[in-house]
Amino acid sequence: MIFSSFTFPRYFFIDIFLRNAYGNIMHRRVYEITAFLKPNQKAHQRRCTYISKFFLCLFIFLPLCILLIIGLMLDTQKKESLRERRNLETFPFHFWTQSEQLEKYISDHLPYRSKLIDFYFESGLGRDLGTKNNIIGKENFVFMGQNSPRNLPTLPVYQNTYFFTPEQISLLQKNVQKIADFAKEHNIKVYFMIPPQSSRIYHKWMPDYILRENKPSVTEQVETALKNIITVVPIEKHLISQARSQFPLIYKTDSHWSEDGAFESYKLLMEAIQKDFKDIRAVTPDDYHIELTKEVWLPYQNSQKPFFYNGSTYLKGLDYGETQYRHYIYKDKANLKINRDKQFRFSDYEKGSPHRAYIICDSFSYYMLPFLMPTFSHIGMRRYNESGTGIPWGIRWKEQEKELLNNKIDILILSISDQKLEELMRFFK
């Protein structure tokens, strides 16, 4: 039988693999395939033994050498990937029992990996993963990814890895206690709620590569710290439970509540208020004309001029990436009397509850105003983080005290979103 130069190495190396799998079978097959080349049988048998041992050692040590070379090349100093908005895998010290973690570690620290990731995003290939400022989630949800001035870090809050220190919690409690003491002295009931960022409500829609710790959040930390000082209204878990409802509770292309999300939060707030004020009637969907729309509205106008919500939403342009939402228009909005003063805004409604309310809030609670305004005969509002008005950021409590007393307020609502909880430490600055 004549073997071609192509056939010989093909079968030769196939049998090498068989030796690896089936022990001495390889040695026998090497001998059989190459025997025709060597008439001296004993010398040939020794030669085959050497060849078998050589390749057996090669199969054992070559992967170890490759791993050593990769290890020397790995970028082990890098701890996080800014592009992917996540921490990189750390080296598993018990790697012989943690093969999956070892693979992730090698993958995360390969040389020039960050350059390739940058190219992937900047070339447009990674557009479905978002940008440095936005995160594209499942079903085309867009989540906020950037850190903004005076905000808590966005992703660590989502991932349950950011918490206040004991000193910060102590300062927070001290400030809120001063407010509670003032409110008690002047017979004002205080209600506190923390609107969650959209990624916390729709966390199952976040990308799988952004991991989340299974432990209490900074929201729960603050709620626990304040629950014995003022009335805390937890809303996050309820909103999460309603996340799969027919109409989304947040806008898919905006970070804020939809009108349904605001209405769900309003109902929880009113349940707490009605325990103390049983004569207050909460509005229901029957009080509104409800339309279906794909339009998304923001809590400000393009001109950035301040306004007080007038009973129907301000809408921005039609967004074809959106789904349908419910748009609430109060049936008796013509009788809402509104003052749009830059600094202190209020609404009067003769048919509302005789109680007078005041809300200190950020943009999230603008969305509750269509429901709060017809609830009370008077409601004032102060947004502590408004841009474009020339008014400095901050709650500035001393100014609020005057407004509360001048308007004879008996219900105070503090609505501070989870991204801006540090404002509770700046009450008196």
pLDDT classification of 232: cutoffs 50, 70, 90: very high
The 10s digit of each residue's pLDDT in 57-113 is 777 777 777 766 666 566 666 776 655 556 777 777 666 677 777 777 777 777 667
Q: Calculate mean pLDDT across residues 44-69.
A: 68
| Contact by Cβ (8 Å): 385, 142 | no
Q: Are 236 and 219 in contact (CB under 8 A)?
A: yes
pLDDT-above-70 percentage for the chain:
64
Kindly tell me if the per-residue pLDDT of 375 is higher than 60: yes
Query: How far, in Å, CA of 248 to CA of 4, rounded?
Result: 70
> How far apart are the C-alpha atoms of 425 and 429, rounded to whole Å?
9
HEC readout, 44-79: HHHHHHHHHHHHHHHHHHHHHHHHHHHHHHCCCCCC
> Is the pTM of the predicted complex or chain greater than 0.85?
no
**Averaged pLDDT, 272-292:** 93
Work out the average pLDDT over 346-356.
91
Residue 22 burial (CB count, 10 A): 12
d(CA 365, CA 359): 9
Confirm if 418 and 219 have CB atoms less than 8 A apart: yes
Which range has the worst mean pLDDT, 14-28, 208-222, 234-248?
14-28
Above 60 in pLDDT, residue 35?
no
Give tens-digit pLDDT for 140-160.
Answer: 777 877 666 678 888 889 899
Report how far residue 48's alpha carbon sits from residue 51's, in angstroms, rounded to the nearest whole number: 5
Contact, 246 vs 210, CB < 8 A?
no
- Which among 402, 399, 397, 404 has a CA at the least distance from the CA of 427? 397
pLDDT (tens digit, 9 = 90+) per residue, 377-391? 999 888 887 655 555
Question: What rounded mean pLDDT belongs to the chain?
Answer: 75
For 243-260, what is each residue's pLDDT tens digit? 887 888 888 777 778 889
Q: Which residue has the higher pLDDT, 314 or 141?
A: 141
Nearest-CA neighbor of 421 among 200, 212, 240?
Answer: 200
Q: Tokens in use for 252?
A: 């898919």
Query: Among 350, 367, 233, 359, which residue's Cα sits nearest to residue 296?
Result: 367
Tens of pLDDT along 290-308?
888 766 554 433 322 222 3
Give the whole-angstrom CA distance, residue 359 versus residue 309. Answer: 13
